[in-house]
Amino acid sequence: MKAVIWKGRKTVGVGEVADPEILEPTDAIVRVTSTAICGSDMHLYDVLAPAMHPGEILGHEAMGIVEQTGPEVTGIAPGDRVVVPFNIACGACWMCERGLMSQCETTQQQTDEGKGGMLFGYTSMYGGVPGGQAELLRVPQAQYGPVKVPANGYADERFLFLSDILPTAWQGVRYADVREGDTVAVLGLGPVGQFCCRVAAYLGAGAVIGVDTVPERLALARRWGVDVIDTDRTDEVDAAVRERTGGRGADAVIDAVGMEAHGSPVRKWLQQRADLLPEPLGSEVAESIGVDRLDAMMTAFTIVRRGGTVSIVGVYTGEADPVPMGELFDKGLTVRMGQCNVKRWIDEIWPALIDEADPLGTEDLTSHRLPLDEAERGYKLFDKQKDGCIKVVLQP
Ligand SMILES: NC(=O)c1ccc[n+]([C@@H]2O[C@H](COP(=O)([O-])OP(=O)(O)OC[C@H]3O[C@@H](n4cnc5c(N)ncnc54)[C@H](O)[C@@H]3O)[C@@H](O)[C@H]2O)c1
Ligand SMILES: [Zn+2]
Ligand SMILES: [Zn+2]
């Protein structure tokens, strides 16, 4: 089959690899019909390159048609149309029972890396499971993971984003503890940030402020009723948010940027040095030194009001990042974060998905639909935010 393969820093390509097979009784094989490129793939593309191995199959946002199921998979059958959550979770362990599928103890123990549960297409740190940017996907824990969706009547994109970015945004808003009428600021208007804005409004926010610098992303957010601020400079964002909130700051701030924030050339330099070191050392540097670019997170702490909540959705991997504890303590902030627990939110999101009016605009996000063969171009467009690129969906 064809699959998108990581070849080296900032180099991916479509290659021919062996078809996946059922290896465990709880596996399924899905023939992928749509698979998206995510901001999280861009970390692997660039700053997390030291953790990658050439030949790894990328991708964790996929849906398609079930082709085969192992004997212990009873909830889905060949022919079913399914979305595959990016967490690989058992649904039955202590963590899964508490809605923490990203920490699934069954799949975590299979990796031995001291990380959370397994993820599709996300390095050996998360199980080294081949990803979904491919014609076929082996889905472990398929007795629990895949979400069955209506066979027809809807375009793939109505459901595709259930694999990751829609529940991720939903969790981001829930973790932000948004109350009726609150002012929510969303940093970063990539695909995740766009959904954070829409979900915040849908769940009752009184005002949504969005921050980015990319014109097409600002325009899309504006079209969805977001009050946009066009800058990534903390002092300017702070002034603009205070002006809109009677000087107090936003009730909740969602960081939908993560470790690759604009600005701070020194930190960028440090990140690149990690990649030039011998591989084991480089990998250690990328993981263990505080090399994240913290501009978005720091901005979040600045613009949130006293007693407010910061919800961090963007990914960070540094282990020694400086955090302004004095500011957090004095302002009395609540900070929540983490990988999305996809299946925890499906039931809450479902009514919006099958609503004719598409209130979350699942069909109003994708800027580029490309054949899988053009994955390389898709990665470049998304990386450079060229050609109005907001979300790329690949069709095998
Ligand atoms: N927690 C999870 O489970 C989860 C799931 C999916 C994605 N993510 C993460 O969410 C983040 C966003 O993903 P995406 O697909 O939207 O990526 P993206 O790269 O398209 O979006 C990031 C946006 O932030 C903007 N930005 C950069 N620096 C900024 C700054 N200082 N202030 C304001 N805006 C700034 C960029 O211009 C860009 O539009 C990534 O870190 C991704 O890894 C997390
Ligand atoms: Zn993703
Ligand atoms: Zn589990």
Contact 256 CB / ligand 1 (< 6 Å)? yes
Which residue has its alpha carbon closest to ligand 1 atom 28? 261
Alpha-carbon distance values, 20 to 135, 136, 388, 396 (Å): 10, 7, 35, 15
Contact 232 CB / ligand 1 (< 6 Å)? yes
Average pLDDT over residues 196-202: 98
Domain borders along the chain are 2-164+341-395, 166-337
* Predicted model pTM: 0.94
Contact 337 CB / ligand 1 (< 6 Å)? no
Helix H or strand E segment including 140? none
Helices 279-288 and 265-276 pack at an angle, to 10 degrees, of 150
pLDDT at 292: 75
pLDDT of 276 higher than 90 = no
- Supply angle C-alpha 182, 186, 187, rounded to 5: 150
Contact 82 CB / ligand 1 (< 6 Å)? no
71 or 235: which carries more pLDDT confidence? 71
Q: What is the DSSP letter of 58?
A: P
Alpha-carbon distance values, 342 to 27, 91, 172, 366 (Å): 19, 11, 12, 20
Q: Which atom, in ligand 1's list, is nearest to the CA of 263?
A: 31
| pLDDT tier, 261 (very low <50, low <70, confident <90, very high otherwise) | confident
pLDDT at 169: 98
Residue 228 contacts residue 211 (beta carbons within 8 Å): yes
Give the model confidence (pLDDT) of 132-149 as tens digits: 999 999 999 999 999 999
- How many angstroms separate the alpha carbon of residue 157 from the centre of ligand 2? 14
pLDDT at 271: 54
Which residue has its alpha carbon closest to ligand 1 atom 32? 232
Give the model confidence (pLDDT) of 211-259 as tens digits: 999 999 999 999 999 999 999 888 899 999 999 999 999 999 999 999 8
| pLDDT tier, 282 (very low <50, low <70, confident <90, very high otherwise) | low
Contact 187 CB / ligand 1 (< 6 Å)? yes
List residues bridging with 30 in a β-sheet. Answer: 66, 137
Q: What is the mean pLDDT of the chain?
A: 92
**What topology is assigned to 2-164+341-395 in CATH?**
Quinone Oxidoreductase; Chain A, domain 1 (3.90.180)
Give the model confidence (pLDDT) of 349-371 as tens digits: 999 999 999 999 999 999 999 99
Which residue has its alpha carbon closest to ligand 1 atom 36? 188
pLDDT of 291 higher than 80 = no
CATH number of 166-337: 3.40.50.720
CB atoms within 10 A of CB 239: 14
